[in-house]
A and B are shown apart, each in its own frame.
Chain A
């Protein structure tokens, strides 16, 4: 247990000690070597790198250098990432073997290890983080502490204003005042649908009942999305603090974090954070001597995408199959065990403390008219800078893909971006300048979703992409309601027919009719949005569907049954690279001759398409 004074003391002392983390001109002789421990970097050996640094420093008897485990820096494509502060030197793709050299050259000799310095897309060496185009257009609120603090040390969180918002709330604010601030800030749920957060809090507060609950939805399941995980791994206390504030505001004393068991690092760090917060008296009885009690328990999911749907999540916390409930009643009215329950997702909570500290006006000054603040995206697919980005609402897709993401690799063309995962839709190039906000994305047939943003180049077949998402939905449908259970399966079967060249034009109409009825008749968000990837691709890439159905052709050759691979005579330079890679020797031609594919031998594996440096094969 810590007294208020002790917390203040920790904050002051620690903040001074950690100044070098955020201030390149910090007055210190210390150096901090930050080693990213997000899942991406961890799986490419960052724990070993951390160990090596510590061992070498000890062997060499070097003092004043600390090695810190941090959360995700965001630029996963360059991982494992090591940053040395205060000078802010960015080493990319570090291996455990590089540690010796970094210590010797950088720490001992005071010179940079040139070969490990991060380079931008244009090949320019980057001297510090802010120089990277990747970071220039970003604004970090939810990710503020990710990559800055050690997530396993509560003192570091406290140093950067941690638990200050909670203190203020309990000290001088009434629950109504807190809710008013959140409402005024314009914050909307970051889980996908964008319901106004303050209003949700208000509704839950207004619901009758002595027992209420606060739940954090950390069951991030969109394939290719890892925003929430990064926050939990990089800044777990931010979520705990926000949940406690929420508990105070709605009148709840108990919180649950429902987190995927597939996120072991996040679970471990949450566990540590909860223990530390309890030790300090920041969770438990009589927090800050205010008379307010609040505690949090972790509940592990067990591999069911549908549990990201709030009512399915509640069922799962109750120990049941994660099958959604019909709404209304909403969880705010009847949630966990029928009691009023507030559910927000991780990213939503990650904004709360800062809204309290910096004010609703500050927050609402960021973003667009209806969508305030920032949004974190997991940028992936055919884009150069794969990673985690946080941008103000209203940033255009083009800015994200080209300025932050560094464009499309291998000289390919942008074809579409997919947001909202299996519930979202595809955005074609004509909508690249759409500002990212809830309404605009919906208008063009997609949705914000939780933040997965997958970029696709022109080698991707949109019919098979739709099929990919339907496969996902079919395998993740809970099976409760008819339209989703059987309907998505039938949609998938029609798409399979199309991809196998067995489809007809009428199948496209059947697909569309089925999709629209599934949207309307399903119980939950999963079923209601399952047809979105199909309807949006049908909307923007209808000609590709028609080609599959009528011409029995797939322009990208992704649908093997339909692929006719040919070499463009004009583009072919006769280099013979394709011939060398063809596994079945189906490519004929000698010397500098233009190559030809023997269609009888071709197995349509697509290897030649990928290897041709001149994009002559299609």
Chain B
């Protein structure tokens, strides 16, 4: 309970700081949403409501912006965010197979998070490491020259690590 309160206060402080940093001008919306996404890992509804009050933009419009840009998510993200690059360079080198394997193993689709909150799958377009194609990333760390085997190995390691810690 205490922990929750603390978290709540921290969030408020974050918003307070954000509102100090940005003037209540409409064109700041996307910049602020970027910071919110970064801070919370998603764009919570209550934050959208506060933004709506602050920027004097209807919630539906903010929601429209949040659902337009793929960087913003409405749900909390998994502890491990696995992104498979489906840029052309990686695609040509077979990254779709890695994606297929991943969705098959975790039983979720790109953009979704596993029920235990551990994994989120994302597809990205070109992380710029085309020299290492195909690549996938786990929380931003790049695994280059990837294969289904390599993915399995990384997944197994993460799952085992989680099993041990729990």
Contact = CB atoms under 8 A, between A and B. Distances in A.
Contacts of A229: 128
Given A318-B26, A319-B28, A304 B68 contact: yes
B131 A224 contact: no
A75 B132 CA distance: 11
Interface stretch (B3-11, B89-97, B112-120): B89-97
Interface string A364-390: 000000000000001011100011000
B130 A224 contact: yes
A261 B69 CA distance: 11
B17 to A, nearest CB: 18
Contacts of A76: 129-132
Contact of B89 (A39, A44, A300, A380): A380
Given A223-B125, A381-B93, A460-B92, A304 B69 contact: yes
B70 interface: yes
Contacts of B64: 321
Nearest to B137: A43
Interface string A314-338: 0011111110000000000000000
Interface residues of A, number: 50
A305 B125 contact: yes
Contacts of B137: 43
A4 interface: no
Interface stretch (B29-37, B74-82, B151-159): B29-37
A303 B72 CA distance: 8
A541 interface: no
B138 to A, nearest CB: 12
A43 B30 contact: no
A381 B87 contact: no
Contacts of B15: none
Nearest to B67: A321
B86 A300 contact: no
B88 to A, nearest CB: 4
Contacts of A460: 92
Which of B27, B65, B86 has most chain A Cβ within 10 Å?
A: B27
A304 B30 CA distance: 12
Contact of A40 (B34, B37, B124, B128): B128
A255 interface: no
A150 B129 CA distance: 20
B121 interface: no
A44 B144 contact: yes
B121 to A, nearest CB: 15
Contacts of A316: 30
A390 to B, nearest CB: 16
B129 A317 contact: no
B30 A40 contact: no
Interface residues of B, number: 40
A590 interface: no
Contacts of A263: 128
Contacts of A394: none
A44 B124 contact: no
Nearest to B65: A321
B133 interface: yes
A223 B91 contact: yes
Contact of A43 (B25, B88, B125, B132): B132
Contacts of A38: 128
A148 B87 CA distance: 28
Contacts of A303: 69-72
Given A43-B142, A224-B130, A302-B34, A418 B88 contact: yes
Contacts of A77: 131
A454 interface: yes
Contacts of A75: 131
B126 interface: yes
A428 B99 CA distance: 29
B48 to A, nearest CB: 14
Contacts of A321: 64-65, 68
Nearest to A45: B142
Interface in A195-232: 221-226, 229
A319 B55 CA distance: 11
Given A44-B132, A381-B93, A223 B142 contact: no
Contacts of B47: none
Interface string A447-469: 00000101110001000000010
A43 B92 contact: no
A540 interface: no
Contact of A302 (B72, B90, B132, B144): B72
Contacts of B124: 262
A274 B162 CA distance: 43
B131 A386 contact: yes
B129 A39 contact: yes
Nearest to B37: A302
A300 B69 CA distance: 11
A43 B33 CA distance: 26
10 contacts: A39-B129, A40-B131, A40-B132, A223-B87, A262-B124, A299-B31, A302-B37, A302-B69, A304-B69, A316-B30
The 5 closest A-B pairs by CB, nearest first: A76-B131, A380-B89, A43-B142, A302-B69, A224-B88
Interface of A: 38-40, 43-44, 75-79, 221-226, 229, 261-263, 299-305, 316-322, 378, 380-382, 386-387, 418, 421, 452, 454-456, 460, 468, 472, 478
Given A302-B71, A386-B133, A418-B88, 18 more contacts: A39-B127, A40-B132, A43-B141, A43-B142, A44-B144, A76-B132, A224-B126, A262-B71, A302-B70, A303-B71, A304-B69, A318-B26, A319-B28, A321-B64, A381-B89, A382-B93, A454-B88, A472-B125
